[in-house]
């Protein structure tokens, strides 16, 4: 929905409320209403200030355009924009006590989250980012430096070397989250490349050792060691 500012050509796109975007939705819708001089219908500028019927209808129309259809039906009987606004806030954020408890739980989950050995950096970063988004949706200002520190502190022992290197070469307050992730992924690729090389070299070593093996018991250079004692080729018969 687009609202056209009265006396001008400026338009505002009203965002639609979803189950996960309430904090951002609240800021955007509030600013749009304020720009159209109708926010005072939700929060009067002064006690006892008269509410104009025209502005009340404009505000209700704006809110009903910005919420899901099933909620329009539920709140269709409301004539006061503040009732709608407060109802949305209670429904999506909950009462302050429950909201505070939920935020505390999410923060504990964030602090205890650890990357497991064998887990990929991408998979762990997805978990961390999703949890960080939930924390932020409750109004907690999770800064970039805090998220970077949380990422580095969550790494397993196999990543301690690169974590120490990042902390030595960068100031944590200046490095971006995506930069830290990129460094960890580069290190992860190096580890995997080394492991593959070691596996390949190990396999070649075994093949080479097998071909050059000379059986002490039969003197057959191509004898398979697994055949010895099982009546295989080159074994002595009684």
For the segment 108-162, what is each residue's pLDDT rounded down to a tens digit?
Answer: 999 999 999 999 999 999 999 999 999 988 888 899 999 999 999 999 999 999 9
Question: Coil, strand, or helix at residue 18?
Answer: coil
**Rounded to 5 degrees, what are φ and ψ at 2?**
-115, 130
Instruction: Tell me, yes or no, whether 6 lies in a domain.
Output: yes
The number of domains in the chain is 1
Quote the domain boundaries for residue 71: 2-93
Q: How much is the pLDDT for 14?
A: 82
In sequence order, what are the beta bridge partners of 13? Answer: 2
DSSP label of 28: H
Residue 31: inside a domain = yes
Per-residue pLDDT band for 232 (boundaries 50, 70, 90) equals: very low
Domain annotation covers residue 63: yes
> Running DSSP on this structure, what letter comes out for residue 3?
E
Q: Is the dihedral of CA 76, 80, 83, 88 positive or negative?
A: positive
> Encoding tokens for residue 171?
């100031």
Query: Does residue 16 contact residue 67 with C-beta atoms inside 8 Å?
Result: yes
Whether 15 is in a domain gets the answer yes
Contact 176, 151 (CB under 8 A): no
pLDDT band at 199 (very low <50, low <70, confident <90, very high): low
Decide if 64 is inside a domain.
Answer: yes
Tokens 């596996």 belong to which residue? 199
**Chain segment 161-177, per-residue pLDDT in tens:** 999 999 888 887 889 99
Structural domain includes residue 86: yes
How far apart are the C-alpha atoms of 189 and 156, rounded to whole Å? 15
Q: Is the pLDDT of residue 102 over 80?
A: yes
Give the separation between CA 154 and CA 116, rounded to whole angstroms: 9
The two tokens of residue 175 are 């490095």
Does a structural domain hold residue 83? yes
Domain membership flag for residue 61: yes
For 36-62, how does the pLDDT look when each residue is reduced to its tens digit (9 = 90+)? 888 888 887 653 445 467 788 888 888
């Amino acid at each position: 929905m687009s609202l056209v500012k009265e006396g001008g050509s400026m338009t505002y796109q009203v965002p639609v409320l979803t189950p996960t975007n309430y904090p951002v939705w609240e800021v955007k819708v509030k600013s749009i209403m304020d720009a159209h001089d109708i926010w005072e219908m939700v929060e009067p500028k002064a006690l006892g200030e008269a509410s104009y019927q025209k502005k009340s209808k404009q505000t209700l129309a704006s809110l009903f355009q910005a919420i899901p259809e099933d909620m329009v039906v539920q709140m269709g009987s409301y004539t006061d924009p503040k009732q709608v606004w407060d109802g949305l806030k209670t429904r999506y954020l909950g009462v302050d006590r429950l909201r505070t408890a939920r935020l505390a739980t999410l923060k504990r989950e964030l602090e205890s989250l650890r990357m497991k050995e064998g887990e990929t950096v991408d998979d762990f970063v997805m978990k961390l980012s999703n949890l960080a988004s939930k924390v932020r949706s409750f109004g907690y200002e999770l800064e970039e430096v805090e998220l970077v520190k949380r990422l580095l502190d969550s790494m397993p022992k196999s990543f301690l070397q690169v974590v120490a290197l990042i902390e030595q070469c960068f100031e944590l307050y200046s490095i971006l989250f995506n930069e830290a992730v990129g460094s960890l992924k580069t290190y992860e690729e190096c580890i995997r490349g080394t492991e593959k090389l070691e596996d390949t070299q190990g396999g070649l070593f075994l093949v080479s050792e097998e071909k050059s093996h000379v059986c002490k018991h039969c003197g057959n250079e191509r004898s398979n060691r697994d055949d010895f004692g099982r009546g295989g080729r080159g074994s002595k018969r009684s």
